[in-house]
């Protein structure tokens, strides 16, 4: 049994991680911590755990490193980079659900986020987008678990960029997220009556997932890519839909593009390509690790429109984190995360 510790277990992503780990056949939740709720019964923070008896612990990463085989961090940005040392990495695998180790370009990180406190460690961190980086993840000590929007956006566009199908300067990603993406922290915009029955864009041309998408797509393209990314908030709990636009470099048929996607994803269990004329909807991936991808070509404008859908808390956070754990520990990648999407829910 893999001994698991979770730091930051009382946010939405942390809780989803607890839910998955407590049901994982090869993992055991050894300890969970919470800054806000230390000492409190976990069931009093999340009453879906009424039948379990976890207590929120004070965080002590040194101690946890001795007790655990892997530690998941679900923390605000800037916090993880202060905690991780070479010493800790010698004792325990780290899977960081935050942003601190996702961008290899430190200038970009510090421009979009804050000062980085583990510049020495950053180079060995691997971007844990499993379907793309699987082989590079295996032997790492630290995995940067991708962001929710980024997971959905990159997986949607990767084959097109990799294969040089599109004009890389023309990429526009218009994304829609459920409210869990905004977390459990109180704020007026996330108050029920303020968010319900309305839709809005936010952080237009300024969302921090933008450089993350750009860096990964740039790796795939072998050239620097700059995109437009616009997130929207949808009155629902879970789910991300990314509607991606790009100009095609040539005339392509549906079958041409389909074969590009199949080349990269044909054997990927957790990526499901939709049939021609059908498109992903967030409901069909809810509570699962699947990414559904579909596309259409607009012959009038010679643009491609790719739609991707994930569950932001699952494939977009905790599920992919456990997928990374499975890779790190040599398990079947599906172990403990192979849920059929729950519907209607």
For the annotated catalytic residues, the residue numbers are 148
Question: Which residues from 240-299 bind a copy of itself, rule CB under 8 A?
Answer: 241, 243, 245, 269, 272, 274, 278-288, 290, 292, 296-298
Compute the C-alpha angle 94/95/98, nearest 5°.
120
The burial of 87, by beta-carbon neighbours within 10 Å (0-12 exposed, 13-18 middle, 19 or more buried), is given as: exposed
Residue 204 binding a copy of itself, by CB under 8 A: yes
Phi-psi region of 99 (alpha: psi -120 to 50; beta: other; left: phi over 0): alpha
CB of 209 to a copy of itself, least distance (A): 14
Burial 173-187 (b: 16+ CB within 10 A, else e): bbbbbbbbbeeeeee
Structure tokens that stand for 58 in this block: 């004070």
Q: Is 190 a residue that touches a copy of itself (CB under 8 A)?
A: yes
Per-residue binder mask for a copy of itself (CB under 8 A), 84-123, x = binder? ----------------------------------------
Q: Angle 319-328/12-22 helices, nearest 10 degrees?
A: 50
Question: Contacting a copy of itself (CB under 8 A), which of 107, 186, 251, 267?
Answer: 186
Strand pairing of 172-177 and 228-233? parallel
Task: Tell me whether residue 101 or residue 270 sits nearer to a copy of itself (CB atom).
Answer: 270
Q: Which residues inside 150-169 make contact with a copy of itself, applying CB under 8 A?
A: 169
In the set 1, 26, 198, 266, which binds a copy of itself (CB under 8 A)?
198
Q: Is 39 exposed, middle or buried (0-12, 13-18, 19+ CB in 10 A)?
A: exposed
315 binds a copy of itself (CB under 8 A): no
Cis peptide before 175 (omega within 30 of 0): no
Candidates 44-52, 90-98, 109-117, 144-152: pick the segment binding a copy of itself (CB under 8 A): 44-52
Candidates 23, 115, 224, 253; binder of a copy of itself (CB under 8 A) is 23
Place of tokens 């269990």: 269
Closest distance of CB 276 from a copy of itself, Å: 12
Residue choice 4, 68, 84, 195 for contact with a copy of itself (CB under 8 A)? 195
Near a copy of itself by CB under 8 A: residue from 146, 239, 319, 336: 239
Q: Does 307 bind a copy of itself (CB under 8 A)?
A: yes
Are 163 and 203 in contact by the 8 Å Cβ rule? The answer is no
């Amino acid at each position: 049994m893999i001994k698991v510790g979770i730091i930051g277990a009382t946010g939405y992503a942390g809780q989803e991680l607890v839910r998955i780990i407590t049901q994982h056949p090869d993992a055991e939740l050894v300890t969970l911590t919470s800054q806000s709720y230390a000492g409190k019964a976990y069931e009093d923070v999340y009453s879906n755990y009424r039948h379990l008896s976890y207590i929120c612990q004070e965080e002590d990463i040194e101690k946890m490193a001795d007790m655990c085989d892997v530690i998941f961090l679900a923390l605000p940005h800037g916090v993880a980079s202060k905690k991780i040392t070479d010493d800790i990495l010698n004792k325990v695998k780290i899977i960081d659900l935050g942003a601190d180790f996702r961008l290899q370009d430190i200038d970009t990180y510090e421009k979009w986020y804050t000062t980085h406190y583990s510049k020495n460690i950053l180079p060995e961190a691997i971007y844990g987008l499993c379907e793309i980086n699987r082989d590079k993840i295996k032997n790492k000590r630290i995995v940067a678990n991708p962001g929710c929007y980024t997971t959905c956006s990159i997986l949607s566009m990767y084959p097109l960029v990799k294969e040089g199908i599109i004009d890389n300067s023309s990429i526009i990603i218009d994304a829609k997220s459920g409210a869990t993406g905004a977390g459990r922290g109180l704020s007026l915009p996330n108050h029920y009556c303020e968010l319900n029955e309305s839709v809005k864009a936010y952080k237009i041309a300024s969302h921090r997932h933008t450089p993350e998408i750009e860096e990964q797509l740039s790796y795939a393209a072998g050239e620097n890519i700059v995109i437009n990314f616009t997130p929207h908030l949808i009155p629902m709990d879970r789910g991300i839909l990314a509607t991606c636009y790009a100009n095609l470099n040539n005339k392509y048929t549906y079958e041409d593009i389909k074969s590009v996607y199949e080349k990269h994803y044909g054997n990927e269990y957790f990526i499901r390509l939709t049939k021609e004329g059908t498109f992903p909807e967030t409901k069909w991936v809810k509570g699962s690790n699947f990414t559904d991808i579909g596309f259409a070509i607009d012959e009038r404008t010679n643009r491609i429109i790719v739609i991707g859908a994930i569950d932001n808390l699952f494939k977009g956070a905790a599920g992919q984190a456990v997928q990374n754990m499975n890779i790190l520990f040599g398990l079947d990648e599906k172990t403990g995360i192979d849920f059929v999407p729950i519907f209607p829910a």
